[in-house]
Amino acid sequence: MVDTKEDPDPRPQQSADPAGFAMAGGAMVLVGSIVLVGKTVATLDLASVTAIRLGIAGVILVPWALARFGVPRFSLLMWARLAVQAALGSVFYTVLLFGGLRLTGAVEAGIIGGLLPVLSGLFGVIALGERPGRALIAAIALGTASLILLNARNLGTDDPATLARLAGNALVLLAVLSECGFILLQKTLASEPPALQMSALMSGLGFVLIAPVAVAVQAVAPSAVTATDLAALAYYAIGPTVGGYVLWYAGASRLSAGHCAVATLMMPLAAVVLSILVLGERPDWVQGLALAGILCAIPLGALARSPARAAAAQPPS
């Protein structure tokens, strides 16, 4: 989950740190590989997919956070707020993203997922009244144009495969918007929990929310959980979720906000490259142009951020 928070030690002139870039970029490569997981677990119901992934991540993150910070003491209102964030950033994001991947290609899903930094800036303008500079306006316009370019050719047809791809792209976009909702709530927290504790809370609360649904779905329409499913979801939990957390925060501590935002370029790039190498997908010129537009929009959005803000919250989940 990408977000920003005030850095107690702003470093406006901080130079790029190669090790920081490598770690933050590595985290984004792990996040980009999620599209492979979505294609692997295509026969397991989405509730079970989400519950297994969050359960495995929670087994690692929750004891780690408890050992470091102890049992959290929040007000009832704060717990409710955290539950909404877990629903948006952990449950809905996974269900919508993996649902979309069952209908569309991994390349297009990766390209749309790259819109997250730009759309989160748009959410800040609409919901929080943040003033958009020229760079952010240009980034939003470029990202929107890329999204329209990617989907315009799917309109006005009765072909079932094309309509399915359009529906899949819409679900992936909804997943990105759900993540934007998480980021929006994160920005309005008066006192934000430490990053590790927040990651543990999102996995733990997300599991509590989705587990009953998964049990009910399995009772009504059982679907077998194969060894391949478990391996793929264990990778998602340990790699992009836990490993991504460790790499992102280690890298972000060495980088400015702008450098962190540029590192997120690796997410859509990794998704597209892995889709080609592992899944055998072949992007066409329209997808190439859309990817290029979004890769240009991300650093433009970074220019719109205050240099005193560090991208030190969670990478996309």
What ranges in the chain are assigned the alpha helix state H?
18-32, 34-40, 46-69, 76-86, 93-101, 106-113, 116-128, 134-152, 160-187, 195-220, 227-236, 244-252, 257-263, 266-277, 285-303
DSSP state of 313: S
Top pLDDT among 287 and 262 is at 287
Strand 309-310 relative to strand 5-6: parallel, antiparallel, unpaired? Answer: antiparallel
Top pLDDT among 255 and 234 is at 234
Quick check: 4 pLDDT over 60?
Answer: no
Q: Given pLDDT bands bounded at 50, 70 and 90, which one contains residue 10?
A: very low
Quick check: 123 pLDDT over 90?
Answer: no
Joined tokens for residue 262: 């540029």
Quick check: 13 pLDDT over 50?
Answer: no
Joined tokens for residue 286: 């329209």
State how far the Cα of 57 lies from the Cα of 258, in Å rounded to an integer.
29
Tell me, what's the pLDDT at 8? 42
Top pLDDT among 114 and 2 is at 114
Backbone region of residue 299 per phi and psi (left: phi > 0; alpha: psi in -120 to 50; beta: other values): alpha
Candidate from 63-77, 188-202, 230-244 with smallest mean pLDDT? 188-202
Q: What percent of the chain has pLDDT over 70?
A: 89
Please state the length of the chain. 317
Quick check: 254 pLDDT over 70?
Answer: yes
Tell me, what's the pLDDT at 45? 95
Backbone region of residue 121 per phi and psi (left: phi > 0; alpha: psi in -120 to 50; beta: other values): alpha
Quick check: 247 pLDDT over 60?
Answer: yes
Quick check: 154 pLDDT over 70?
Answer: yes
Tell me, what's the pLDDT at 11? 42
Tell me, what's the pLDDT at 117? 82
Q: Given pLDDT bands bounded at 50, 70 and 90, which one contains residue 3?
A: very low
Q: What is the mean pLDDT of residues 91-104?
A: 96
6: β partners: 309
Average pLDDT, rounded, for the chain: 86
Tell me, what's the pLDDT at 15? 55
At a CB cut-off of 8 Å and minimum separation 6, what does 137 contact? none
DSSP state of 6: E
Joined tokens for residue 162: 């094309």
Quick check: 307 pLDDT over 60?
Answer: no
Tell me, what's the pLDDT at 156? 74
Q: pLDDT of 194-211, one tens digit each?
A: 889 999 999 999 999 999
Contact between 17 and 186 (Cβ < 8 Å):
no
pTM of the model: 0.87
Q: At what angle do helices 160-187 and 116-128 cross, to 10 degrees?
A: 50
DSSP state of 140: H
Quick check: 9 pLDDT over 70?
Answer: no
